[in-house]
A = this chain, B = another copy of it.
Amino acid sequence: MSFELTILGCSSATPTRTRHQSSHFININNKYFLVDCGEGTQQQLRNFRIRLQQINHIFISHLHGDHSQGLIGMVSTMHLLGRKEDLHIYGFIEGLKQIIDVQLKYSETILNYKIVYHNLRSDIPEKIYEDDSLTVETIILKHSLPCCGFLFAEKEKPRNIKKEFLEKENIPFEMFNKIKSGEDYINPEGVFYKNEEITYPVHSPRKYAYCSDTMYTESIVPQIYGVDILYHEATFTEDLKSAAKEKFHSTAFEAATIAKTANVKELIIGHYSARYKELDPLLNEARSIFKNTYLAEEGKKYCIS
C-alpha cells in the first residue's frame, strides 16, 4: 500500500541548469496523480522512468507559467502515444482551458481522448476528488493569483475487531461491519462494550499536503494539522523576507513555522529561487525552527509508510 511522492521540479519561476519548474508525481496505492506541471515535466517523468499514461488526474495550483506551461506538452504527448482514457484536469479552468484549446486549435490537433475539466474555487477549501480510499481537498493559499494547494488524504479504514473479543463473544454476523465502523456492542446478556475497547485502527490515514505558491498564512494550519508530509514552498531565506512578501512567497523560516504550528510529521521545502546555488542556507534556516525538514530533490522518492 504505497504512498509515494516524487519531486519532478524544485525550482521557482526561473529554472536553473539543474533545477526544473514545479511538478510532483504522487503514487497512492497505484493511483497516479500529477500536481502542477511546469515546462519539461514530461521530460522529467521520462528521466525518472515514470510512465505518462498511467496519470489520470492532473492538479494545477494556479496559472503562473512555472506551474502550468508543461501541461500542453503532457496533453499532446498523451495524444501522440495513443491515449484513449479520460484525463481529469483540476485547476482554474477558464484560463487553463483557453490555454490548452488555443494550442490544440492552431496545431490542428483533435485529441483522441477526452479532457474532463474540474474547476476550483479560490475562496474556501473543497473536496475535488474522491474514490474508495482517498480524497483530495483544496487548500486556499495566499498568492498573487488565485492559488490552491492540495491535501491528499487516505480515508479512514474500518477498524479491526480484537481477536480476544471475537473468541470471547459470539457476535452475530450482521454486527461485524457495524462494530468495524465504530459502533459499540451489547451482548445478549446486556453487557456493554465500548467500541474502542473491542477494536483497533488499521493504521491512521496517511496525508500529504502540497502548498506552493503562498506567502506565510496561518489560515492553512487547521486543515494541514498533523499531516505526514507537508510540502511548503520556501522560495527565499529570511534575509529576503521583504522580497518574499512582495512576491507573495515564503521564506524557509516561515515554511518551518507553519510546519511546527501545524505539528506535521515531516516538512519538505522547495520552489527555491534561482539565486541559491547551494541550498544549505534554506535547509539550515528551516531546521532551526522545525528539525524534521528535508530539501525537495528532483528524482527523489519520499514515502509515507
Distance in angstroms between the alpha carbons of A68 and B71 in the assembled complex: 14
Q: Contact: A80 with B14, CB < 8 Å?
A: yes
- The one of B77, B81, B102, B107 in contact with A145, judged by C-beta atoms closer than 8 angstroms, is B107
The 6 A-B residue pairs whose C-beta atoms are closest, nearest first, are A95-B106, A39-B73, A63-B106, A17-B46, A40-B40, A65-B76
- In A67-88, which residues have CB < 8 Å from any B CB? 68-70, 72-73, 76-77, 80-81
A98: chain B residues within 8 A (beta carbon): 102, 106
Q: Contact: A39 with B145, CB < 8 Å?
A: no
Is A64 interfacial (CB 8 A cutoff)?
A: yes
Assembly stoichiometry (copies): 2
CB within 8 Å for A103 and B108 given contacts A13-B80, A17-B47, A80-B13: no
Is A270 interfacial (CB 8 A cutoff)?
A: no
Chain A residues bordering chain B, tally (CB within 8 A): 41
Question: In chain B, what residue has the closest Cβ to A45?
Answer: B17
19 contacts between A and B (CB under 8 A): A13-B76, A13-B77, A13-B80, A14-B77, A14-B81, A15-B42, A15-B46, A16-B46, A17-B46, A17-B47, A39-B40, A65-B103, A66-B76, A95-B102, A95-B105, A96-B106, A99-B102, A102-B102, A107-B145
Q: Contact: B108 with A99, CB < 8 Å?
A: no
- In A32-59, which residues have CB < 8 Å from any B CB? 39-40, 42-43, 46-47, 49
Binding site for B on A (CB under 8 A): 13-17, 20, 39-40, 42-43, 46-47, 49, 63-66, 68-70, 72-73, 76-77, 80-81, 92, 94-96, 98-99, 102-103, 105-109, 144-145
